[in-house]
Structure 1
Amino acid sequence: MKRFVIGLLALGNAVMVGLAPCAERDLAAEVRAAERAFAKTMATRDLKSFSGYVSEEGVFFGGKGPLRGRGAVVEAWKRFFEAKDPPFSWEPEVVEVLGSGSLALTSGPVHDPEGKLIGTFTTIWRHEPDGRWRVVFDKGCPVCEPEKRP
């Protein structure tokens, strides 16, 4: 009987270890979906939905310095939503999630309306108490052009 119980415990442990990577993959898929939905708010010109993806404590870097808080971010970014067509688009290429499932990083290319690569972005997401992933840090960088040699 003792061997049977030890065997069951070992089997249970093996099953739990085997399931751990699946849970991480699911979280990565969840974050990737959140990033794509966030990017879609730009494509559909939906500033209100964009706002919902930014944490109350969100910090966006760029321009004259960091924008701190959802209100400041939305106020500064509303100019990108005013024209009929979006001025840029982005897509996650890299998604990494902490083992705890509390934070995640996404990064990828930023393209102009014609599809030309104009920059990259890096976003840190936090799994918030209401169960949603929201942006806590965001930074975009222009593409660095290589130095032209004579």
Structure 2
Amino acid sequence: MVAAERAFAADAAERGWVAAFRSYAAPDAITLSPDPVNAHEQLAQIAGDGETTLDWRPAYAGISSGGDFGFTTGPFLFRGREGIAGHYFTVWRRQPDGGWKWIFDAGTGVRDPGPPVAADARIPNLAVAPRGVGSAEAAVREVGALERGIAIARPEPRSQLLWRLAEDVRLNRPGHPAAIGVEAATTLAQATALDAVDEPLRIEAAPAGDMVFVLGRTSWPEGEGRREGYLARVWQHQGDDWKIVFDEIVPRPV
């Protein structure tokens, strides 16, 4: 899967980012522009193959026990476009032919003070879950019920979410470095936002039922009102419970 991500990035550098995104997107792939849209429909509106100056590198990855579903995340930037940088998040699904296609791709304006990741670097990986709940359908039901329960906890769902954070969780928030580990994630969540999914738009799980991707609308307190955006979250089955291993918020433009 990481090799597929690197091949995807290399293709974008050679042919252009639009051409690469078309080639590596699954038929049902979703991106944010700024709202969720089918990736192929969105890309069809862009003439040409796109610039070759979009650069991204995987810095962390997680994969299901079956080796057929997972995610990568890491820094991205548009060379020559000041200010267009952050961390991307891509969810991958293995295809019937054995290859990989992405089903969700979106980034947020993480400010990463560290050095860039080498294209061939050995990157840390999320520990694989020892077991799931038996099927994708069961996992979707269980995580869907968890998300609904957290939403009911409004106006303060944060306390319920904090104890759901895995020890090795990663949080991506615009304007802040990526938070790695539960202590850093808890601090960042308390300083920014960790909120419930107002409206789930997509919940998809690995066949073994050990990893679940959730995309939904969300909102969080900001100033005297609430800011709206989208939340992308990955749950992993750990022990006898579900834990959040990745959480990203992408604000809608004001």
TM-score normalised by length of structure 2? 0.40
Q: Which amino acid in structure 1 is aligned with residue 197 of structure 2?
A: W
Distance 1:136 1:112, change over 3 A: closer
Q: Which has the larger radius of gyration?
A: 1
Structure 2 runs not aligned, ≥5 long: 1-133
Q: Which amino acid in structure 2 is aligned with residue 125 of structure 1?
A: W
The residue that corresponds to 1:35 in the other structure is 147
The residue that corresponds to 2:83 in the other structure is none
Identity of aligned residues (%): 21
Distance 1:110 1:46, change over 3 A: closer
Question: Are 1:100 and 2:212 an aligned pair?
Answer: no
Root-mean-square deviation (CA, aligned residues, Å) is 3.1
Question: Are 1:90 and 2:197 an aligned pair?
Answer: yes
Which is richer in strand? 2
**Alpha-carbon distance, 1:47 to partner:** 4.5
Match of 1:72 among 173, 180, 184: 184
**Alpha-carbon distance, 1:88 to partner:** 6.4
Question: Are 1:26 and 2:134 an aligned pair?
Answer: no
The residue that corresponds to 1:142 in the other structure is 251
The residue that corresponds to 2:237 in the other structure is 127
Alpha-carbon distance in structure 2 between the residues aligned to 1:24 and 1:55 = 21
Q: Which amino acid in structure 2 is aligned with residue 75 of structure 1?
A: T
**Alpha-carbon distance, 1:60 to partner:** 0.5
Distance 1:127 1:121, change over 3 A: same
Question: Are 1:111 and 2:111 an aligned pair?
Answer: no
**Alpha-carbon distance, 1:124 to partner:** 0.7
Q: Which amino acid in structure 2 is aligned with residue 119 of structure 1?
A: G
**Alpha-carbon distance, 1:66 to partner:** 0.7
Contact persistence 2:169–2:244 (CA under 8 A): yes
Determine which structure has greater relative contact order: mean sequence separation of CA pairs < 8 Å that are 6+ residues apart, divided by chain length.
1
Distance 1:40 1:93, change over 3 A: same
Look up the SS of the partner of 1:100 in the other structure: coil
**Alpha-carbon distance, 1:72 to partner:** 1.2
Contact persistence 2:137–2:209 (CA under 8 A): no
Contact persistence 2:168–2:180 (CA under 8 A): yes
Q: When the two structures are aligned, how many residues end up with a matched partner? A: 117
Match of 1:56 among 164, 167, 175: 167
Which is richer in helix? 1
